[in-house]
Structure 1
Amino acid sequence: MDALLALGWQGWLSLGLVGLSFVLFLATRLAPDVITAGALTVLLVSGVLTPAEALAGFANPGMLTVAVLYMVVSGLKETGAVSWIGQSLLGRPKGEADARLRVMLPTAGLSAFLNNTAVVAIFIPAVSEWARRHRLALSQLLIPLSFASIVGGTCTLIGTSTNLVVNGLYSEQTQGAGFGLFELAWIGVPLVIATLLFILLGARWLLPTRIAAAERFEDVRRYTTEMMVSTDSPLAGKSIEAAGLRQLPGLFLAEIERDGQIMPAVSPQVLLAAGDRLVFAGILDSVVDLHRIRGLVPATKQVYKLGGPRQERCFVEAVLSNKCPLVGASVRQGQFRGTYNAVIIALSRNGERVRRKIGDIVLRAGDTLLLETRPDFVLQQRNSKDFLVVSQFGDEHPLRHERAPIALVIVVAMVAVVAVGLLSMLEAALLATGAMILTRCTPDRVARRAPDWQVLIVIATAFGIGAALEKTGAAALLADALIGLAGGLPWLALGLLFVAAAVLTALATNNVAAVLLFPVALDSARLMDVSPVPFLVTLMVGASASFATPIGYQTNLMVFNVGGYRVVDFLRIGIPLTLLIGLLTVALVPLIWPF
């Protein structure tokens, strides 16, 4: 009771705002960044936090590292290296369960040695594109991606910042060397195996399925487009199926022209050859995806006559009006490029594909054109009488595949200097971003737009809310209450320590939980006259068991918006997984590191 009274109104306000935030996450459609920013604003205005304390999260190295990594990943996306990662590490799945395993195995393995935030940042675009090509529900893959990166980090001392924080505090207290680099693998590897099995066996009932918009509607606008297999294409000699040209949703290969001969009703086993002209029909998203595949180039040579590098161009949709002077002329005869400084790369008529080569199609009023052009085309033609509608297609534009090896070398170098301890993750990511821009792997305008500000705001404001829990004593009160229930039983104390760490991680962050509970773990071992090592290992695992909420760990936040998830999705699969990890940890840790 005295502890409750000592908490004061500041502590109760902090706890109340955390509880209210979770209610709003579950019961409303308010954006997560709006909710956490609102809670932090109340803490600041009420005087619980000073401006410096409230805004400290915006200068936190973890938050800044995530922001800069988005810019690094933009270099992989702009050069098409993301597709290479997807094809090389993920391969071709045989089904949803196989797809999840293909995502989780390399993620867990890499996260044992690399910062798991960097691993997830690189894998999100690769998995997104891979899922789209193989018609997989992205929501079935991104939670497994995040969870595999989290549990993979428990295998080594450098796998997660939580392990480093606890080990640093332990070394400082004991004046010793602390844990060995691979010592935690004794508990980490069994936890990885258990997590993979749990997700593989329970995903059918526990993971949500969000259907892409393009798959929900059959009545979609279909385009005709032509691509050519380039002379140096890695697709030459591969079958159509092996090249991934049968796996883009809402798209099919209508025919192949080779040496003047037309091959209709193409079999998936037909081998591609350099110089093949491929005629596709399908939805707009998949037509644009064709232009992102290395080894395929637009069949029209007009694209290469436009000024400036292709990476600085964009894709634009335009609908022809009856005032356009080119109506009634074929695409080849109309000299569209010379008139508008744009090239027609796909065409749709009344929502249906036109069964002719694009160059031979006679333009009509109402035709919808997909153009490759420069961004200023939209401004110049928006009010033109020649077009009814002119709009840029998102931020999509042709890629610079020739720079993909440079982008990959930059990322490998970034990872290497961090792995050997030469630079911090933030320092290496900043240098890698600069290298991506200087080598023209990503334009500076694209790099500036790369960070997901909703994710970053949630991360930064979550640090402030965690600071309020720590400052007011609310977090310590919760931890002490749980540990006090253990009495003098070490096994029970371990279990309650894990629960306290998992709860605090869900409410605040993993590092806040580790720092707050470290003295509690040491005191519990001292009072029971047992070794502190099993308590510290349990604390490391418990503080990393960030499965139940999206705000508990940065990787959960990173996949939250991309996967279209809700908080309840994490609760449904995260709570039972946390319980499983807790039971295994409490059962195995004392056997590996005796009391």
Structure 2
Amino acid sequence: MTYDVFIVITIIGTMIFCLLKEAFRPDFILFCALAALVLFGVITPAEAVKGFSNEAILTVALLFIIAGAVQQSEILTLLVAKALGRGHHPRRSLFKMMIPLSGLSAFLNNTPIVVMFTPIVHRWCQNRNISPSKFLIPLSYATIFGGTITLIGTSTNLLAHGLMIENGLPGYSMFQLAVVAVPGAILGTIFMSTIGYSILPLRRSADGHFQITRKTSPEIAVEEKSLIFARKNSASQRRSSKNVYLISSMKSPEVSDRKNTMFAIIILMATVLTAALNIMSMFTAALSAVIVLFLFKIVSFDSAKKYVHFNVLLMIACSIGIGVSLEVSGTASLLADQLIKITKESGVIGMLIVLYFLTNIFTEIITNNAAVVIMFPIALAAAEKMAADPTAFLVTITIAASASFTTPIGYQTNLIVYEPGGYRFTDYFKTGIPLSMIYLIVTVTVSYFVWL
């Protein structure tokens, strides 16, 4: 083991430990790991900042803005509410709910969708005397299913796409992952609305009954003339007061009407179509869409800044630099050699299973983006050593990184529904383990027969 390999394993091991223990924010942990790799001379400053100019991170930022404009639409809420129906047949309602949710999350960010629909589904269950615990985990899972279908379904897909381009590979097309993801989503939806529905607990909330709490706070609007004697920084100083909270300064309100949101939906559809038909690259299509949204004042610069999740962008950028360290230090090649020895008897199929399994474990205990970063160079090195098409290996780890079903902490959407559904940690194991096995079998089988 060389000095560089030892340093990389030590730093990444420490990073994983800190992520597991939630010692700090994930973006801060990854940033510190990247900085340590530079300080120890494993990678150069130029290699460290490579991720900040990566096409994937810029595309993700643009897609956040487009998705933010679309997610204001009432049409999305009405679509899912209509799918739920009257609830006379809960399993059928669950099946019909999961289909549009998977479709939406194929093109929009998963987290806002779950945040938006959790109270709607919870209220729908309450009104029909149905346990929300039967519907909220499937709500989260449906968005995970959909997120794996397209290139823009989740930042993990775009990160893997960007890493492929960085390594001289063509990257994913818009619907390339759908070959694996659609069968997985279909089988997953059928499982959750049949066997999974029976496995899910009959639980209304953490203490056995619904608890709807209305929180209110007195609010006043201060007229401009009332501030005439205030110092310039008085308002900002009030932010730290224990009794007064400054919500915002008064600005011209942004009008979010059906016309604007419909226009935003059309822009999203046009973006997907132009990228799918290879008329433009995903980045160029997204950039053009954002420019149109600005020109027609569908999105303002202030709202655009609110839509962009800068912590996610920082994590992706740092992840790319960490991935470079695995490659240039020889760590990825060393680990690939060890995996080849382990899977010697079972060959390529055995390697795909091991890659899926390891990636899935990482995504359950750390973050999905970090899981891709750690496993990408290992998968690429393994493909090269086995003289196989790397696409099968990379699709396997990309799907595995998003297929987080067995813990509430593995994926943010799982955590969002944890308390409203009154779940326990073990509830995710009961439905998640068989669902993970379904995805493993589908991913490995399809990847093998399509690309190998």
TM-score norm. by structure 2 comes to 0.68
Pairwise CA RMSD of aligned residues? Answer: 5.0
Deviations 1:392-435 (A, max 9, x none): 27999663314223222222222221121111222222222221
The one-letter code of the counterpart of 1:120 is L
Inter-CA distance 49–96: structure 2 relative to 1 (3 Å threshold): farther
The residue number in structure 1 matching 2:220 is: 318
The residue number in structure 2 matching 1:414 is: 271
Q: Does the 8 Å CA contact 1:107/1:148 hold for their aligned counterparts?
A: no
Give the one of 145, 149, 155 matched to 1:148: 145
The residue number in structure 1 matching 2:383 is: 521
Distance 1:90 1:20 in 2: 45
The residue number in structure 2 matching 1:196 is: 189
Inter-CA distance 458–102: structure 2 relative to 1 (3 Å threshold): farther
Q: Does 1:131 align with 2:128?
A: no
Inter-CA distance 106–163: structure 2 relative to 1 (3 Å threshold): farther
Q: Does the 8 Å CA contact 2:271/2:286 hold for their aligned counterparts?
A: yes
Distance 1:152 1:47 in 2: 39
The residue number in structure 2 matching 1:470 is: 327
Inter-CA distance 426–102: structure 2 relative to 1 (3 Å threshold): farther
- 1:198 deviates by 4.8
Distance 2:316 2:169 in 1: 29
Q: Does the 8 Å CA contact 1:510/1:546 hold for their aligned counterparts?
A: yes
Q: Does the 8 Å CA contact 1:501/1:513 hold for their aligned counterparts?
A: no
Q: Does 1:84 align with 2:75?
A: yes
Inter-CA distance 467–446: structure 2 relative to 1 (3 Å threshold): same
Deviations 1:428-456 (A, max 9, x none): 22222221122111222221232112222
**Matched residues, percent identical?**
22
- 1:19 deviates by 2.5
Q: Does the 8 Å CA contact 2:83/2:97 hold for their aligned counterparts?
A: no
The residue number in structure 2 matching 1:20 is: 14
Structure with greater proportional strand content: 1
The one-letter code of the counterpart of 2:19 is F
The residue number in structure 1 matching 2:401 is: 546
Inter-CA distance 558–60: structure 2 relative to 1 (3 Å threshold): farther
Distance 2:433 2:235 in 1: 51
Distance 2:58 2:78 in 1: 30
- Secondary structure of the equivalent of 2:219? strand
- Secondary structure of the equivalent of 1:440? coil
Give the one of 31, 34, 38 matched to 2:25: 31
Q: Does the 8 Å CA contact 1:104/1:196 hold for their aligned counterparts?
A: yes
Once structures 1 and 2 are overlaid, which stretch shifts more, 89-98 or 191-200? 89-98
Q: Does 1:64 align with 2:65?
A: no
Structure with greater proportional helix content: 2
Give the one of 23, 39, 42 matched to 1:45: 39
Q: Does 1:449 align with 2:306?
A: yes
Deviations 1:129-154 (A, max 9, x none): 33333436797366424421344349
Q: Does 1:432 align with 2:432?
A: no
The residue number in structure 2 matching 1:120 is: 108
The residue number in structure 1 matching 2:316 is: 459
Q: Does the 8 Å CA contact 2:137/2:414 hold for their aligned counterparts?
A: no
How many residues of Structure 1 are paired with residues of Structure 2 in the alignment? 400
The residue number in structure 2 matching 1:499 is: 354
Inter-CA distance 432–180: structure 2 relative to 1 (3 Å threshold): closer
Distance 2:204 2:6 in 1: 38
Q: Does the 8 Å CA contact 1:86/1:127 hold for their aligned counterparts?
A: no
Q: Does the 8 Å CA contact 2:148/2:177 hold for their aligned counterparts?
A: no
Give the one of 408, 421, 440 matched to 1:582: 440
The residue number in structure 2 matching 1:370 is: none
- 1:75 deviates by 2.5
Q: Does the 8 Å CA contact 1:521/1:539 hold for their aligned counterparts?
A: no
Inter-CA distance 571–548: structure 2 relative to 1 (3 Å threshold): farther
Distance 2:249 2:340 in 1: 53
Distance 2:378 2:299 in 1: 41
- 1:165 deviates by 8.3
Distance 1:183 1:69 in 2: 19
- 1:481 deviates by 0.9
Distance 1:471 1:209 in 2: 52
Inter-CA distance 379–58: structure 2 relative to 1 (3 Å threshold): same
Inter-CA distance 578–167: structure 2 relative to 1 (3 Å threshold): farther
Q: Does the 8 Å CA contact 1:48/1:468 hold for their aligned counterparts?
A: yes
Distance 1:487 1:426 in 2: 40
- 1:58 deviates by 1.6
The residue number in structure 2 matching 1:366 is: none
Inter-CA distance 516–399: structure 2 relative to 1 (3 Å threshold): same
Q: Does the 8 Å CA contact 2:18/2:29 hold for their aligned counterparts?
A: yes
Distance 2:297 2:119 in 1: 27
Map 1:5-16 to 2 at 5 A: 5=1, 8-16=2-10
Q: Does 1:483 align with 2:340?
A: yes
Unaligned runs of 5+ in 2: 124-131, 227-231, 364-369, 420-424
Inter-CA distance 395–101: structure 2 relative to 1 (3 Å threshold): farther
Inter-CA distance 67–13: structure 2 relative to 1 (3 Å threshold): same
Distance 2:246 2:166 in 1: 54
Q: Does the 8 Å CA contact 2:404/2:411 hold for their aligned counterparts?
A: no
Inter-CA distance 46–404: structure 2 relative to 1 (3 Å threshold): same
- Secondary structure of the equivalent of 2:35? helix
Inter-CA distance 546–146: structure 2 relative to 1 (3 Å threshold): farther
Give the one of 251, 262, 268 matched to 1:405: 262
Distance 2:417 2:36 in 1: 30
Inter-CA distance 338–426: structure 2 relative to 1 (3 Å threshold): closer
- Secondary structure of the equivalent of 2:280? coil
The one-letter code of the counterpart of 2:145 is A
The one-letter code of the counterpart of 2:64 is Y
- 1:96 deviates by 8.5
Q: Does the 8 Å CA contact 1:75/1:441 hold for their aligned counterparts?
A: yes
Q: Does the 8 Å CA contact 2:372/2:398 hold for their aligned counterparts?
A: yes
